A and B are shown apart, each in its own frame.
Chain A
Amino acid sequence: MKKIEAIVRPHAVDDIREALLEAGFHGMTIMEVKGVGRQKGHTEVYRGAEYQVDFLPKIKIEIVVPDERVEEAVSIIIKCAKSGKVGDGKIFILPADDAIRVRTEETGDDVL
């Protein structure tokens, strides 16, 4: 069982959700985040006062999948999020020990 954390451009998130659900993944969590990376920020000017805005808005998607489906999920995310320009985001894959469904207290891959 692996947790995938994908940080992507905000506009890509609907495509990713649709493609993942269509492929049979049952759920995910997203959050609005800000980050700084190789994609530089921009400058804003208000009545002559200049601000360098480094942190840009991104969406972070978290999804936990069975080991054998990690590659599939990652390729779906990449397919939807990739524009080829700096700022497309990053994907991290982390081990997940277990998963528990609160309603029934089931555990393991069946929960995902």
Chain B
Amino acid sequence: MRKPLTLRILSALDTKSWIALGIFLALALLVVPVLHLNFPEDSAFHVSTYAITLIGKIMCYALVAVAMDLIWGYGGILSLGHGLFFALGGYAFGMYLMRQIGRDGSYGADLPDFMVFLDWKELPWFWLGSDSFGWASFLVLAVPAVVAFVFGYFAFRSRIKGVYFSIITQALTYAAMLLFFRNETGFGGNNGFTDFKRVLGYSITSPETRLVLFGLTAVMLAATLVFAAWLVKSKFGRVLTAIRDAESRVMFIGYNPLWYKLTIWVISAVLCGIAGALYVPQVGIINPSEMSPGNSIEIAIWVAVGGRGTLIGPIIGAFVVNLAKSWFTVSFPEYWLFFLGLLFIVVTLMLPQGLVGLWKKLMAKKEGAAA
């Protein structure tokens, strides 16, 4: 007999994890806002705007990392094009934010500035409805889903896998980047979207809006985590893991891997799109360089650093790598690439299970020594 949905969701995580998740949400939704709003800037307890933006941004990245882990850690499919779905979500929401600028742009026109600059007289058809928050939110989910579905269907149907698949996804995001770099594509070319003023009528730079976006990202991340934990434990998740480990055998037993792979691929893309949509209003810019192949590969390294095949690993990885990045790029900009490159090498050579795997190994040793 199947358990009711609430029970099944509850059983996705163990008690300890639920408590940890609760603490995380309490921190993000209560403690950070209180510290940010109620303490003066010189106070030791004050959480600065910089910190909120940075953590908010990294939480978006962590969301992407979890999405990547679903497809790579559990599905065994390494995508080097996840930056594309992230950027598509970001662009879809960015269109709405551009329309929210209204007549406050530097040209004071109804159209977004870059269109005035290109001497366009009216919005292109794909901008239709972009002034509606609902439609924009729908696009955030639908555009990555459709792109992922079409691409994934053809790729998985012809059983492209392994490095072949990775390379083709890389080419996909590369081609998309070139497309978005063009001014004629209608998404602001090189500069992308920036100079946002409002979201849902609220000023985008006000502390309250920031905190709402920050909290929303935290909730989204927590919800994704619960959803992913439930998903990988479900029958679907089991079949997926089986496909990762022995695709031919799963086929011979009678499953069609196409639909399993395609489903997790589309889910992963949609999660990336959501992350992109949360990222854009917090960071205040989206441009085609988000789609560069290098960015997408970096996503893979977050997952690898944290430990793939675990759900907390990607989040840890995203935080570790991105905190290191913001520290390096401020203190030693010229060494960042060396660090990142060596991180790729060292993690793949010495930490195949990532930090989580290292932790587990250390714990096992400790227990072994105690016993």
A and B interact physically:
no
